[in-house]
Each structure stands twice: as C-alpha cells, then as structure tokens.
Amino acid sequence: MREERFQPGDDRFPPTRRSVIEAVRSIDAEERERALESLCAAYWKPIYKYIRLRWNRPADEAQDLTQGFFIEVLERELLEKFDPKKGRLRTYLRVCVDSFVSNEDKAGRRQKRGGNVAHVALDFAAAEEELGGAVMDPAAIPSPESLEEFFEKEWLRSLFSLAVEELHQFCVARERERTFRLFEAYDLEGHDKISYEQLAKEYAIPVTDVTNALAWARREFRRITLARLRELCGSEEEFHREARAAFGAELK
C-alpha cells in the first residue's frame, strides 16, 4: 500500500453537488432520479426512526411506511413544492411524513412494498439496531418538541455517516487507507482512549505523520460533509444555517 506524503495546500475539494431541489426540477430524468437517491440516502434512517417513535409503529410497519413515503415524494412531486424561503428542507420533510402517515391511517392502507427505494438499499436491521429495538409505550412517547429535536439529531447523524463513508472511499482511491484508519481510531472511536503517540507507535510512523494525516482527514471530512449538505439545501441561506448547526461556526 502506498501512502502519499502530505503537502501544504493538498486539499482538493470534492466535486460540488447540485442541490436536490434544483436537480429534481431538471428535464433530465437521470438527474431527477439521482436527486431522489441523494435525498433518500440522507433521510431514510431519520424518517424510519421518527415513524417508529412519533407514530409508535412496529418495525415492519415503519419500514413499509418509510418506503411508501419516498414513493409519495416522487409521485406527488413533493420536492418541487418545497419553498426554501419558508423554512428548512428537513422541517418540510418531517411535516410531510406526518401528513403521509396520517393519511395512510385514514385510508386504512397496508400496502406491502419492496426493499429498495430509488436504488438505495435500506438497511432497516442496522437502523433498528441503532434505535435499540424500541417498542414504545404510548404513555412514554416523548413530546412533539423532543421528537422534532430527535429527528434533527438523527438527520445530522445520517449526514455525518454518509460523509465518513465517502471519506473512506476517497482515501482508498488515493491510496491513503492508513490515513482513514488513523482518523477512524482517533476521531470516530474517541480520542480519550488513544493518543497521537500511541497511534505513531502502532503504525511505526513519526508523530508528525499522525498529526498531518489527521489534519488532512478532518479537512477532507469537513469539505465532503459540506458538499453533501449543500446538495440537501434549497438555498445558500439555508446551507449556511445548516452548516452552522452541523459545525457550530460560520463558514469562512
């Protein structure tokens, strides 16, 4: 395996993604499909978990409703109806989920759907494991306000997970697998358990290489995350608001 030396300024930006709101209005069918896939990849887990808790649904029913919702997004062109001047996309989608589940209940629909939506594999088993297999007692269901906060935290968790996966692929493509392992060990698994010196000893490299590798990986992770985030926003103003929420600081 070859590890490239780290050079100052070696920080190529991942390709900028077009906003899903713009892409879904494209005359290009493939671009519209990619937009829905991007939306589904970022939001299916938060939506599934939200349905489980907010609507107190068993896992199999929540799975069916989650898949049904994204079909609804496509068939009713819900993204085209979103106005970024009136709020955030994730808030709009959460409200749409509530409306969808409520309407499904009123109609008494129990249509069994397939396991994939827009060519995105939905790993419900993994989502259920993250959720802890919760079976909610109606009396113990959190308040609507706390569930809204839960949805937003899960959305952020999903965004970061996708960025980590993309960073891994980026590192592999550039033959920097060791860089990703260092990032994974120190930043993802918890720096309170390991030091730069321990990592340097484990990988038989100077501490300065560990420092440089982690700085590079963090910079790329931030850029990848922001690129994905921009894609999921309807306006530049929304993007900056969401970036502040994700990183706690103004963009420079």
Query: 47 with 97: CB under 8 angstroms?
Result: yes
Beta bridge partners of 117: 120
Residue 15 has pLDDT above 90, yes or no: no
State the pLDDT at residue 156: 92
pLDDT tens-place string over residues 70-113: 989 888 889 888 988 888 899 999 999 999 999 998 887 655 55
Listed by start position, the domains of the chain span: 18-137, 142-252
Confidence of residue 229 (pLDDT cuts 50, 70, 90): very high
Residue 252 has pLDDT above 60, yes or no: no
State the pLDDT at residue 5: 47
Confidence of residue 171 (pLDDT cuts 50, 70, 90): very high
Residue 248 has pLDDT above 80, yes or no: no
Provide mean pLDDT across the span 132-153: 68
Segment holding 117, helix H or strand E: strand 116-117
Alpha-carbon distance 63 to 234, whole Å?
A: 27
Residue 166 has pLDDT above 90, yes or no: yes
